[in-house]
Chains A and B, each alone.
Chain A
Amino acid sequence: MMSEGSSFMKGMIFGGIFCLIMSFFETFNPGTHSEGHNHLHHHLKPVSKDELQKLSESQMSEFAMQVRVYCLIMVTPKLLVHWATANDTWSKHCDKSVFYTSEASKALDAVDLQEQDEWTRLRKAIQHAYENAGDLHWFFIARPTTFAIIENLKYLVLDKDPSQPFYIGHTEKSGELDYVEYDSGIVLSYEAMRRLMEVFKDEDKCPERGRALWKMSEEKQLATCLKYSGVFAENGEDAQGKGLFNKKSVSSLISDSISQNPGDVVEACCSDMAITFAGMSPSQIQVLMYGVYRLRPYGHDFHDSLTFLPPKDSDND
């Protein structure tokens, strides 16, 4: 009896020590440096206010230089009103915003991809954006039914190195695949885009047109191609763990909160630093524009370490 017990105990101790040694080794391995850890982590948060304050002037300048965003807005003539709304509102806050359409419309300008297949269109848009990125290192893909607060997007990726692969948004799971949900916006770093360019060349791993028999949605196609390149989806969250990318509208989230958290509706609902909302009507978007960029209580000032100036020639922000 005793020898059985002691064998077991010896085994446990040995197994435990072995495991500790292995994980110790892993953290000190230069290959899995803290950036690598982030990718396994699946949750991505902005830099904390305390850490921001500790940064030097030159570090701040460096971050400011690299946190510029190229917005790819995927439109179709059917979504003309939303297209016009996005054009008139949040897209003005991108450093560069380009509308990619399935077919040209007389009413608004866009890059005409002349492509009806959603996935192929996305691929072409990504290729175009990569080639025209200039010195922009972050890419944001959205439909015009999404509303994005680009300043908060910049805050989220402020201290993240775009020469590392990042693929961020509201993550969902489909079997073994973690993917970023399309409607709540997709963020890609320059390195993630570069790897996509590479894997696009592989017709087996990443076919240009989805296989006819088993059509995956374009968001999952994207996730699959990225996964082949070693890029994994990460959920964008604030310091309290609240999601920053929302696939519902503000009113929908508030209604949910009223029924689920009647005692603390607003606190429980949505993050102060929210980045996206989806499924909003053009009117709701105009009101949100006012709510984000203008409406505030007198005397509440923030003294953030970075200042983003308002865009030129705009009257609604």
Chain B
Amino acid sequence: MISPHLLLFCGILLGFVFVQQLVYLRIEGRTLTPAHILSSHAKSHAWNKKADLVQSLYPRVRVLCWIMTRPENLQKRLQHVNATWAQHCNLVLYMSSQSSDFPTVGLNVSEGRSQLYWKTIRAFQHIQKHHLQHADWFLKADDDTFVVLENLRYLLSQHDTEKPLYFGHKFRPFVRQGYMSGGAGYVLSREALRRFVQGFVTGRCTHFSSLEDMALGRCMEIMGVKAVDTRDANLRETFNPFWPDKHLIHKDNTKKQDSLYSYYKTKLGPECCSDFVISFHYLRAADMYMLEYYTYHLRPFGYKYRFNPHHHQNNTIEINQTNTQ
């Protein structure tokens, strides 16, 4: 027989602890939510609410992205491209020698460096045949290129796609008007695409080299397509043939390797690259996600950017950050 007093005491204790836990949970609120429980649907950036300009450009400046790849890169690279910047294209096509469920378009070519220009020719022929009216602009990129589509649309919105134009990072040698770096990505207008394909039909353009970007540049020149200067208002490059460090870090004793190639005088260091950068190249998976994080997520609260092509007047309080040492 258990003493009723003991039971009473136990009851008090239990009742107290039980209610305390309830109260504690309410006041303390939820503890850290595990970071991996998140929505799996396509990019919903918390700050997209104010992206009015972006909304108006997406349907008006339609970009078809075709990405040059090979069967063995499906797992290594394509999934990261697909998870990041390719989501921002109006239409994406992955071009390989073999078609797959990824999906990739199988072109009638074999693999290898010597086949790169054949791939490009077949890819553009495919696009011209099946997608000419599905987009306004046609971007070629590698599977280790990162492209900021919003900044590309901003550039392209200032041009007419029915004119013969071609955009990218301009290299000086071999082609008088310059040719665009393949790795940094290049863009053809609809008229440029027509002329490229027509060039091969008439025989004015041929497969005279396997250096894909240079050969295409030569064909562009032959067909009267203009190589546009894509630098920003401060003359900083938007398409970049290397990874960020290589452009942004200026060490006094390094020779400027790509100044031999770049059409415009290359700057290393912070002046290399536009705020509204369009591309970087030679990126590993981690670099792609890092660029995705820097471009679309990480930001400084309230910071007034120095480079503002369209300055907005806002009714906010401005604070000078004075640095006194």
Q: With contacts A268-B38, A295-B277 known, is A304 near B301, CB below 8 A? A: yes
Contact A269–B289 (Cβ < 8 Å) = yes
The answer for the CA separation of A315 and B296 in the assembled complex, in Å, is: 22
Q: Which residues of A contact B153 (CB under 8 A)?
A: 298
Flag whether A294 is at the interface (Cβ < 8 A): yes
Flag whether A204 is at the interface (Cβ < 8 A): no
Contact A20–B19 (Cβ < 8 Å) = yes
Q: With contacts A296-B275, A298-B154 known, is A96 near B298, CB below 8 A? A: no
Contact B248–A287 (Cβ < 8 Å) = yes
From 243 to 291 in chain A, residues with beta carbon under 8 angstroms from any chain B beta carbon are: 250-251, 254-255, 257-258, 260-261, 263-270, 272-274, 283-284, 286-288, 290-291
Flag whether A4 is at the interface (Cβ < 8 A): yes
Q: Which residues of B contact A309 (CB under 8 A)?
A: 304, 318-321
Flag whether A95 is at the interface (Cβ < 8 A): yes
Contact A307–B293 (Cβ < 8 Å) = no
The answer for the CA separation of A79 and B5 in the assembled complex, in Å, is: 68
Flag whether A230 is at the interface (Cβ < 8 A): no
Q: Which residues of B contact A292 (CB under 8 A)?
A: 294, 298-300
Flag whether A10 is at the interface (Cβ < 8 A): yes
Interface size bucket, A side?
35 or more
Contact A11–B2 (Cβ < 8 Å) = no
From 13 to 34 in chain A, residues with beta carbon under 8 angstroms from any chain B beta carbon are: 13-20, 23, 27
Q: Identify whether the interface residues of A are mostly helix, strand, loop, or mixed.
A: helix
Nearest-CB distance from B15 to chain A (Å)?
A: 3
Interface string of B300-315 (1 = CB under 8 A from A): 1111111100001010
Contact A241–B4 (Cβ < 8 Å) = no
Q: In this complex, what residue of A is CB-closest to B30?
A: A241
Interface size bucket, B side?
35 or more
Contact B11–A299 (Cβ < 8 Å) = no
The answer for the CA separation of A61 and B318 in the assembled complex, in Å, is: 9
Contact A19–B19 (Cβ < 8 Å) = yes
Q: Which residues of A contact B39 (CB under 8 A)?
A: 264, 267
One of A148-156, A178-186, A192-200, A215-223 at the interface: A148-156
Q: In this complex, what residue of B is CB-closest to A60?
A: B317
The answer for the CA separation of A268 and B83 in the assembled complex, in Å, is: 13
Q: In this complex, what residue of B is CB-closest to A110?
A: B325
Contact A64–B319 (Cβ < 8 Å) = yes
The answer for the CA separation of A261 and B306 in the assembled complex, in Å, is: 35
Give residues in B with beta carbon < 8 Å to A.
Answer: 2, 4-5, 7-20, 23, 27-33, 35-36, 38-40, 45-48, 50-54, 57, 83-84, 148-151, 153-154, 244-245, 248-249, 269-271, 273, 275-277, 285-286, 289-307, 312, 314, 316-325
A-B contact pairs, 20 of them (CB 8 A): A4-B2, A4-B4, A15-B17, A15-B18, A17-B19, A93-B323, A150-B321, A154-B301, A154-B302, A241-B32, A258-B285, A270-B297, A272-B299, A288-B294, A290-B270, A296-B275, A297-B148, A297-B149, A300-B45, A308-B301
